[in-house]
């Protein structure tokens, strides 16, 4: 293996440490404790784990965590009324509504009813537009985490060829916009792209956000490229015992690491950065709400 491993777990731990210091300073100097409200509708087991981890890490960084667990049958009116209350609560600086929502709720309507300045997931249509036009916005957490790791590795990204595999609203598109804003030459490829491998082989920075286990192998990678693997895929692992699974990314790690200059592992790469960036966005939102300077290194 020749590639450097980009240790997202360690990077996220460092970021959380910095956030905790920022929070302490906000408390001491401005009597301000950033607060994050997380709404979970229904009982999806994976979502419950995410929400629990978010709450735990929020508190560990010294912030206030407000969890709102609602019944799966909650009506749209009830959910919108709760969001309205949180929008108007000055102790709440960030609001996150855990997706996916039950089918009877309109996710777009719900997300767009969160006040844009409290939309720490960066999914509100205003934040999407602000990011697309290069203005100050709340940035989606997973692409923000990828960007912070890339900046840490390369400093300036200006002039680099970046290829993003996947065009989803939560990862692919905002990632491409962030890379464009950092002056990369950006290509987005997706399921209809002709000769996707050739496009990827041109990438100095390759971001994989597909959701297909180990789709990208060494042949797709330019020697020395930086590979960011966003994918989280559960595949059967009979070697671990009957019915057991393991997590792999969208990149075939072992072969890719022979060619790439640097690569994020799965698990332990992008994943831990996502929650750390949610905390970063909450601090950023609290500072903006109080007209205070934003701590360096937390925003895009």
Q: Which residues are catalytic?
A: 54, 98, 121
CA–CA distance from 229 to each of 144, 208, 267, 299 (Å)?
Answer: 14, 5, 10, 21
Left if phi > 0, otherwise alpha if psi is -120 to 50, otherwise beta: which for 157? alpha
Contact (CB, 8 A) for 122 and 281: yes
Provide the minimum distance between the beta carbon of 71 and ligand NDP in the complex, in angstroms, as a whole number. Answer: 26
Q: Which is nearer to ligand NDP, 204 or 214 (CB)?
A: 214
Dist CA 166 CA 251 (whole Å): 13
Q: Which is nearer to ligand NDP, 102 or 211 (CB)?
A: 211
Q: Which is nearer to ligand NDP, 275 or 286 (CB)?
A: 275
End-to-end C-alpha distance for the chain, whole angstroms? 31
Provide the minimum distance between the beta carbon of 250 and ligand NDP in the complex, in angstroms, as a whole number. Answer: 6
Dist CA 236 CA 233 (whole Å): 10
Question: Would you say the C-alpha torsion 223, 227, 233, 235 has a positive or negative sign?
Answer: positive
Q: Which two tokens stand for residue 72?
A: 């799966």
Provide the minimum distance between the beta carbon of 273 and ligand NDP in the complex, in angstroms, as a whole number. Answer: 7
Among the listed residues 72, 31, 3, the one whose alpha carbon sits nearest the alpha carbon of residue 221: 3
Q: Which is nearer to ligand NDP, 35 or 271 (CB)?
A: 271
Provide the minimum distance between the beta carbon of 252 and ligand NDP in the complex, in angstroms, as a whole number. Answer: 14
CA–CA distance from 90 to each of 40, 96, 115, 286 (Å)?
Answer: 21, 16, 12, 9
Provide the minimum distance between the beta carbon of 189 and ligand NDP in the complex, in angstroms, as a whole number. Answer: 6
Binding site for ligand NDP (CB under 6 A): 142, 165-168, 170-172, 190-192, 196, 209-212, 230-233, 270-271, 274
Contact (CB, 8 A) for 292 and 30: yes
């Amino acid at each position: 293996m020749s590639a450097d491993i980009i240790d997202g777990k360690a990077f996220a731990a460092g970021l959380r440490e910095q956030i905790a210091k920022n929070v302490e300073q906000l408390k001491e100097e401005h009597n301000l404790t950033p607060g994050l409200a997380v709404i979970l509708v229904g009982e999806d087991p994976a979502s419950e784990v995410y929400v629990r981890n978010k709450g735990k890490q929020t508190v560990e960084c010294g912030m206030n965590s407000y969890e709102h667990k609602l019944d799966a049958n909650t009506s749209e009116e009830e959910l919108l009324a709760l969001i309205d209350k949180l929008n108007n609560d000055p102790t709440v600086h960030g609001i996150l509504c855990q997706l996916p929502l039950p089918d009877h709720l309109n996710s777009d309507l719900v997300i767009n009813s969160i006040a844009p300045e409290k939309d720490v997931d960066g999914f509100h249509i205003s934040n999407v537009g602000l990011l697309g036009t290069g203005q100050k916005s709340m940035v989606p957490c997973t692409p923000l985490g990828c960007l912070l790791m890339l900046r840490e590795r390369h400093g300036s990204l200006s002039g680099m060829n970046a290829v993003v595999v996947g065009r989803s609203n939560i990862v692919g598109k905002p990632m491409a916009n962030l890379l464009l804003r950092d002056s990369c030459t950006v290509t987005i490829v997706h399921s209809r792209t002709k000769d996707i491998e050739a496009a990827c082989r041109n990438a100095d920075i390759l971001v994989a956000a597909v959701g297909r286990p180990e789709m990208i192998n060494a042949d797709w990678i330019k020697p020395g490229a930086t590979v960011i693997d966003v994918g989280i895929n559960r595949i059967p692992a009979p070697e671990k015992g009957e019915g057991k699974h393991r997590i792999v990314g969208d990149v075939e790690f072992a072969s890719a690491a022979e060619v790439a200059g640097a690569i994020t592992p799965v698990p332990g790469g992008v994943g831990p950065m996502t929650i750390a960036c949610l905390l970063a966005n909450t601090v950023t939102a609290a500072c903006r709400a109080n007209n205070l300077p934003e701590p360096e290194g937390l925003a895009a």
